């Protein structure tokens, strides 16, 4: 007999994964406590560990395409500023 897939809130997932990260109980004990399969707890723990690194990353890694886009936009801003200044001088 198949059971319906349960939906868990982000708060619940955070609570369970935090308990798993503390490692005061085994994954199996935590899974039993919250009526989950141990693989679910392991997955949430792994996701929490991966995202925790992103939380404290002060300088996000940008791809080459993002860097190129930023450079292009700064160039456009500079050009527009020069044109704006030139128009202001012509106006007065």
Residues 6+ apart with CB under 8 A from 17: 41, 44, 45, 47, 48
The pLDDT value recorded for residue 2 is 62
What's the predicted TM-score (pTM) here?
A: 0.57
**Confidence at residue 75, expressed as pLDDT on a 0 to 100 scale:** 95
Residue 77 has pLDDT above 80, yes or no: yes
Within a domain: 1: no
Both 75 and 47 in one domain: the answer is no
Pair (41, 12) in one structural domain: yes
Which domain covers residue 79, as residue numbers? 62-92
Do residues 33 and 72 share a domain? no
**Cα 68 from chain centroid (whole Å):** 22
- Same domain for 49 and 21: yes
Looking at the fold, whether 44 and 70 belong to one and the same domain comes out as no
Burial 50-80 (b: 16+ CB within 10 A, else e): eeeeeeeeeeeeeeeeeeeeeeeeeeeeeee
Predicted confidence (pLDDT) per residue in 38-50, tens digit: 999 999 999 998 8
Give me the number of domains the chain comprises: 2
Q: What is the pLDDT of residue 57?
A: 63
């Amino acid at each position: 007999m198949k059971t319906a897939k349960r939906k868990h809130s982000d708060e619940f997932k955070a609570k369970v994964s935090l308990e798993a990260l503390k490692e005061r109980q085994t994954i199996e004990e935590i899974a039993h406590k919250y009526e989950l399969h141990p693989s679910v707890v392991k997955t949430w723990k792994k996701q929490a560990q991966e995202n925790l690194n992103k939380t404290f990353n002060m300088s996000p890694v940008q791809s080459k395409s993002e860097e190129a886009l930023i450079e292009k936009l700064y160039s456009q801003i500079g050009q527009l500023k020069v044109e704006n200044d030139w128009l202001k001088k012509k106006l007065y």
